[in-house]
Amino acid sequence: MIKKIAILSTVLLSLNSAVFAADWIRLNITNSTKYIYLDHDSISKDDNNLFYVIRYKNDRGIEKVAYIKYSLADEKIGIVKLKDYNSEKYKSDNDWKNSFAFMKELGEDSFFNNINNFVQDDKMVQKLNAERELRQQTTISSNKELIKKYSEKYPGMGEYIVTIEGKIRKNWKLPVTNSGGVAKVQFKINREGKLTLCEIKQSSGNKENDNSAREAVKNTEPFEHFPDTAAKDLKEINILMTFDYYVLDVNKK
């Protein structure tokens, strides 16, 4: 009898947590020792200029956000503004694109050449748009269906799961590595909101990726208690979450 209760009390729910178009894309740049992320949603251009936002760490290890303006006519680049990165306050907008920037020529070995070449490639950007939108819509549809079925079986737990997924995504600190991959983390949460298990179920093949995924879950603890509407025999939930870390190789032509 105890064995049956344990099986019934543990629910396996598979959610996907992925880096989508609205998030930062990790850029793999051969001739740069920096880790660089590109805000995909910030890419735009007019008749004269190209605009985008990158995020990186300076020599003191401080995360910075640089708003870049690149002149298509004379191939000069300028930083419109440079700020400390704050994940809570950052947003991509268009207000800065008409601001003045001191423009200078790019050296042949500058990593900005790789970024500019990629951002100017309309077909590549459109392809990336389509791929990432498909991944996002597929994941959202899949999660909605799973949570709907879960809520029908365990009333009151649907919103609880959505809240957990959102908080874990917020705590997911992307690793400093040029190796992308998919890691799956299995974890269990009991009625009191405590983790009783947190382990890598499927490795991405990269230790840093795996660690960042596992730490995203661990750093979210303690979770909220189960809602009062949750069935009394539901002792814990067993979640398998997928972390898809996407790295874009801008060195390829």
Q: Which of 59, 58, 65, 89 is nearest to 79 (CA)?
A: 65
pLDDT in tens, 140-197: 666 677 677 777 777 878 888 888 888 888 888 877 666 777 888 999 999 999 999 9
Q: What is the H or E stretch that residue 207 is in? A: helix 207-218
Q: Tens of pLDDT along 35-53? A: 788 887 788 888 889 999 9
State residue 6's pLDDT score.
30
> Are residues 73 and 186 located together in one domain of the fold?
no
One domain for residues 8 and 98: no
Q: Tell whether the model's pLDDT for residue 17 goes beyond 60.
A: no
Task: Please tell me whether residues 70 and 105 are part of one structural domain.
Answer: yes
Q: Are residues 138 and 224 in the same domain?
A: yes
Same domain, 90 and 208: no
Final residue of a domain: which of 121, 145, 165?
Answer: 121
Residues 92 and 56 in one domain: yes
Boundary of a domain, candidates 67, 94, 121: 121
Same domain for 149 and 211?
yes
Q: What's the pTM value of the predicted model, to 2 decimals?
A: 0.65
Among the candidates 92, 121, 150, a domain finishes at: 121
Q: Check whether residue 80 and residue 133 sit in a common domain.
A: no
Q: Domain residues for 157?
A: 2-21+127-249
* CA–CA distance, 141 with 213 (Å, rounded to integer): 22
Task: Mark residue 185 as left, alpha or beta (left: phi above 0; alpha: psi -120 to 50; beta: remaining).
Answer: beta
Q: What kind and span of H or E run contains 241?
A: strand 236-245
* Mean pLDDT for the stretch of residues 198-213: 91
Q: What is the rounded average pLDDT of the residues 14-36?
A: 62
Structure tokens at 141: 């549809």
Identify the residue with better confidence: 251 or 87.
Answer: 87
Angle at CA of residue 177, ends 214 and 242, nearest 5°: 35
Judge if 68 and 134 occupy the same domain.
no
Q: Tally the domains of the chain.
A: 2
* Distances from the Cα of 180 to the Cα of 26, 43, 61, angstroms: 9, 22, 22
Same structural domain, 12 and 136: yes
- The more confidently predicted of residues 218 and 55 is 218
- CATH code: domain of residue 140: 3.30.1150
Are residue 143 and residue 237 in the same domain, yes or no?
yes
Residue 78: its pLDDT value, please? 92
The verdict on 100 and 209 lying in the same domain is: no
